[in-house]
Amino acid sequence: MIYSRTIAIEFCHCDPAGIVFYPRYAEMVNHMVENFFLEVIGHGFGPMMAAGQGMPTVKLEMDFKKPSRLGDRIQWDLQVEHLGTSSVRFLIRAEDRLEARSTVVWMARDFTPSPWPDDFRTTLEAYHA
Spatial strand order in the sheet of 87-94: 3-8, 73-83, 87-94, 98-105, 57-64
**Whole-number pLDDT of residue 50:** 87
Nearest to 96 by CA among 71, 76, 78: 76
pLDDT score, position 40: 96
Amino acid at 59: K
Counting the structural domains of the chain, the total is 1
Instruction: Report the pLDDT value the prediction gives residue 84, as an integer from 0 to 100.
Output: 96
CATH code: domain of residue 122: 3.10.129.10
Domain limits for position 12? 3-126
Tell me which DSSP letter residue 11 carries.
G
Which pLDDT belongs to residue 27?
96
pLDDT of residue 108: 81
Q: What is the pLDDT of residue 54?
A: 87
pLDDT for the residue 110: 80
Q: Which regions of the chain are under pLDDT 70?
A: none
pLDDT of residue 60: 98
